[in-house]
Amino acid sequence: MQSFEKLLLENKAWAGEKKLHDPGYFERLATNQKPEFLWIGCSDSRVPADIIVNAAPGEIFAHRNIANQVIATDFNSLSVIQYAVQVLKVQHIIVCGHYNCGGVNAALGPQRPELELLNKWLLHIKDVYRMHRDEIDALNSQAERAHRLVEINVIEQVRRLSQFSIVQSAWKKDRQPVLHGWVFALDDGVLQQLITLPPGSDVDSIYQEFGDDA
């Protein structure tokens, strides 16, 4: 059997088991989704959102990319965020990074000429590094520096979310979503909270959207 055939087989077994335990499961799943959470995580195969928080299908709306970035010109993540906030009206957005992140590690080194597209994506993390270079370079080892950049990257992505008009409008109108920055440790499987921005949190005036009363 080829590796991909195992996936199809596992799927059949999973669907069969679900139906056996709960005959109406898929009918209910098919009708609607009302997730409370938007998850923005890394594409890394070791950090599967639903599994590490033991969530069921329907609970988490997800977007994953290399090094869990929120980039203002990325229509893919922006579309996900707009739909999650304005249509699904999620109550929480979680940006989740993880230690030993290949994208963050790569951003600490020179560009690899054979990965010209990926280099561009990683430039944003290099910018985060440059903004916090004094703090990061003061750390003793490369591992510690990578560790800290993973955390700062998450915090910066959460701050970026707070700068989007989509989020600011929802804060004003719906008093949600709460923005969270978490980090996942591969060596013990535990999540840690790094930052929480509730609706109405301070946003630097240069990033504020003009409101009705502006």
Q: Which residues bind Zn ion (CB under 5 A)?
A: 42, 44, 101, 103
Least separation in angstroms between residue 104's CB and Zn ion is 7
Least separation in angstroms between residue 102's CB and Zn ion is 6
How far, CA to CA in Å, does 91 sit from each of 39, 56, 106, 143, 170?
Answer: 11, 17, 33, 35, 10
Q: Which is nearer to Zn ion, 69 or 176 (CB)?
A: 69
How far, CA to CA in Å, does 8 sit from each of 2, 11, 44?
Answer: 10, 5, 21
Question: Which tokens go with 199?
Answer: 């609706």
Catalytic annotation on 127? Answer: no
Catalytic annotation on 101? Answer: yes
Least separation in angstroms between residue 46's CB and Zn ion is 8
Q: Which is nearer to Zn ion, 43 or 165 (CB)?
A: 43
Options 21, 22, 28, 42, the catalytic residue: 42
Burial 70-107 (b: 16+ CB within 10 A, else e): beeebeebbebbbebbeeeebebbbbbbbbbbebbbbb
Least separation in angstroms between residue 36's CB and Zn ion is 24
Q: Which is nearer to Zn ion, 60 or 167 (CB)?
A: 60
Q: Which is nearer to Zn ion, 107 or 161 (CB)?
A: 107
Catalytic annotation on 96? Answer: no
Options 44, 63, 124, 145, the catalytic residue: 44
160, 136 contact by CB (below 8 A): no
The DSSP symbol for 210 reads P
38, 81 contact by CB (below 8 A): yes
Catalytic annotation on 63? Answer: no
Options 98, 147, 159, 160, the catalytic residue: 98
196, 190 contact by CB (below 8 A): no
CA dist 4 and 137 (Å) reads 43
Main-chain phi, psi angles of 105, to 5 degrees: -55, -45
Least separation in angstroms between residue 67's CB and Zn ion is 5
Options 63, 101, 145, 159, the catalytic residue: 101
Q: Which is nearer to Zn ion, 44 or 156 (CB)?
A: 44
Options 22, 28, 46, 133, the catalytic residue: 46
Helix, coil or strand: residue 48: coil
Catalytic residue positions, numbered: 42, 44, 46, 98, 101
